[in-house]
Structure 1
Amino acid sequence: MAKETENLDLDVETLQKGVSTVLEGKTAAAYYVVEEANQVVGSLMLTYEWSDWRCSNIWWIQSVYVLPSARRRGNFKRLYAHVKEEAKAAQASGLRLYADTGNTAAHATYEKLGMTSHYKVFEDMFTSY
C-alpha cells in the first residue's frame, strides 16, 4: 500500500511491530476489513483524536487499501458506511482522513462519499519509514 500510494519502501520489521501493536490491543487503534467471497479485499485502520472543541473523539481513517482487483465495486464504500455508523453510535464527532496530494483517485473516492476538507495537514516527522 505504501509503495502504491506514496512510493514508500517501509521497513518490514517496523511494520510488523506496528501491526502487531494494533492487533494485540496495545494502542488506541483498530483495523476494519471488507470481504468478498470470504476473502479480505480491503482494510483500514482507525485512530482517535480527542476534540476539546466538541468534547468527543474524531475518528481518523488511516492505512486505507483495497486490492486492485476489488476496486470500483463498492468495497470501500461499504467499509466506510460501516465505520461511519459505528462512529455515530459511539457519539464521535465525525470522521477524518488524509491522502497523499498526488493520490487523485483516492481524493475522488472520498469526495463521492461526501467528504470535504478545509484543512491542510502539516507534519514534522522524527522517524524514517
Structure 2
Amino acid sequence: MAHGLVAAGRTYDNSIHVRNGCNFLISKQLSGGGWGESYHSSENEDYVHSASPHAVGTAWAMLALIYSGQTERDPEPLYRSTKQLIKMQMETGDFPQQEHVGCFNSSLYFNYPNYRNLFPIWALGEFRCRLLGMKK
C-alpha cells in the first residue's frame, strides 16, 4: 500500500489514501502488537478480523506503516509489533506457518513458505534502519 504511493510522492501528510490506510492499520492492531486477518476476508471481500496475530500480516502492516512515515510520527505501534514478531520467532530462526497467505479466485488457498520468514525479517530490518537513521 504505502510503498508504491510513497514512491509516487504521496505521504501521510498530503494523501488521504495513505492517511486512511495508516489509520485503518492502526485501528486493527491487536493489543499484543501484531495484526491478524482471517483468510475469510478473500471470500467476503471485506476485512475479517482474527483474534491472533500472524507473522506475515504483522510484517505487511509494519512495512506499510514504516514506508508511510509512522516511525517519525509515532513509533510506538511499530515497537509493539516488533516485540510481537520477536516473540513469534522460533528457536530455529523461522517464523511459524499460520493462516493462509495467498488466495486465488476466492476459493484456492495456498501458502508461500518463504513469506513467513522473508517479510518478518524485512519488516524488522526496515524498522531498525529507520530508527538508526533517526538517531544520527
The question of a shared fold, defined as TM-score above 0.5 by the shorter chain, is answered with: no
* TM-score with structure 1 setting the length: 0.31
More helix by share: 2
Higher relative contact order (CA 8 A, sep 6+): 2
Q: TM-score, normalised by structure 2?
A: 0.29
